[in-house]
Amino acid sequence: MKFNEYINEDNQQIPEINRILQKIKDNVDKKFITELKNSGKFLYRGIPKNTKNIHKIKPRIDRKPKDMQQIHHDSFNEEFKKKFGWNVRSEGVFVSSNLAEIKQYGETYLFFPIGEYKFVWSPKIEDLFSYITDELIDSSFTFKELYNYDPDYALDHYMDIKSYYNKKSEKERQKIKDDFGKIILIDYYDDIKKIVNTYKNNNLYDAILSANEVAFKCNLYYLVSDWVVVHKEFTDGLFKWI
């Protein structure tokens, strides 16, 4: 009896699977599906719990940082725009094939960009916020001081500069503070540029396999509830379409 109930329930989901597949086939570029098929993986995004099986979403173009400091957010945007022509941190839809990582952000959904899209990713960086927190803020003094955003605090930690600084007039002190701030900023922007230079805007297949964060720029995208991936009807219907 339970087996028959399971079969019936499974069969009842087929019309919904077909409805989702049709939307994807009508609106998602085949080259994107080909990359998924060749990699054997999906790209996921986490959102707060929702009961819909498929969502059509318009990305924000003015995304505010949730965890990253605003100064880092703005600085990375500036460098990304120089290299790729768009503000990755503000406009990007962030996804990954690393399901365990995505689960930290909520319910997991499959990601499908609608129509034309761009993307960037780094072979070296799994998650940019974690990278600058773990690799730079904790280990690089210039980043640490900028993170605190307080040049006076920086001076307190350079005893030879502080000693020299305390012997000067107020006018000379201001110049030292200004020059010291410039040195910090030069180091900071050099580090930002080096990080952004690890990013590329091609080889989506490699990006998917890397399980690193991928940022997409698109006008619209679908999120599909991940229960569909256990159904052969969905994966066959999607990949045999290619």
Q: What digits encode the pLDDT tens for the residues 11-27?
A: 788 999 999 999 999 99
How far is the C-alpha of 193 from the C-alpha of 179, rounded, in Å? 21
Report how far residue 23's alpha carbon sits from residue 56's, in angstroms, rounded to the nearest whole number. 10
Which residue, among 64, 69, 67, 78, has the nearest Cα to 192 in the 3D structure?
Answer: 78
Give the pLDDT confidence score for residue 197 in this predicted structure.
96
Please tell me the predicted confidence (pLDDT) of residue 241.
87
Nearest to 23 by CA among 210, 234, 184, 240: 234
How many H-runs (helices) and E-runs (strands) does the chain carry?
Answer: 12, 5
Kindly list the domain boundaries of the chain, sorted by start residue.
Answer: 2-66+83-122+216-239, 129-194
First to last CA, the chain: 38
Q: Which two structure tokens, joined as six digits, stand for 134?
A: 């773990």
pLDDT number for residue 45: 96
Hey, what are 190's tokens? 């050099």
Spell out, as residue ranges, where the chain has pLDDT lower than 70. Answer: 1-10, 134-168, 173-188
Q: Give pTM, 2 decimals.
A: 0.79
Burial class of residue 229 (count of CB atoms within 10 Å of its CB; 0-12, 13-18, 19+): middle
Mark 71-100 as b/e (b = at least 16 C-beta within 10 Å): ebbebbbebbbeebebbbbbbbbbbbbbee
Do the beta carbons of residue 68 and residue 148 sit within 8 Å? Answer: no
Task: Identify the CA nearest to 236 among candidates 90, 3, 17.
Answer: 17
User: Would you call 214 exposed, middle or buried from its count of C-beta atoms within 10 A (0-12, 13-18, 19+)?
Assistant: buried
Pull the structure tokens for residue 61.
Answer: 């173009």
Supply the pLDDT for residue 123: 97
Q: What local confidence, expressed as pLDDT, does residue 7 receive?
A: 44
pLDDT of 129 reads 87
Please state, in angstroms and rounded to a whole number, the distance separating the CA atoms of residues 155 and 160.
9
Identify the residue whose tokens are 């927190």. 133
Q: Count Cβ atoms below 10 Å from residue 159 Cβ, excluding itself.
A: 9
Quote the CA–CA distance of 147 and 68 in Å, as a whole number.
10
Q: What local confidence, expressed as pLDDT, does residue 223 receive? A: 97
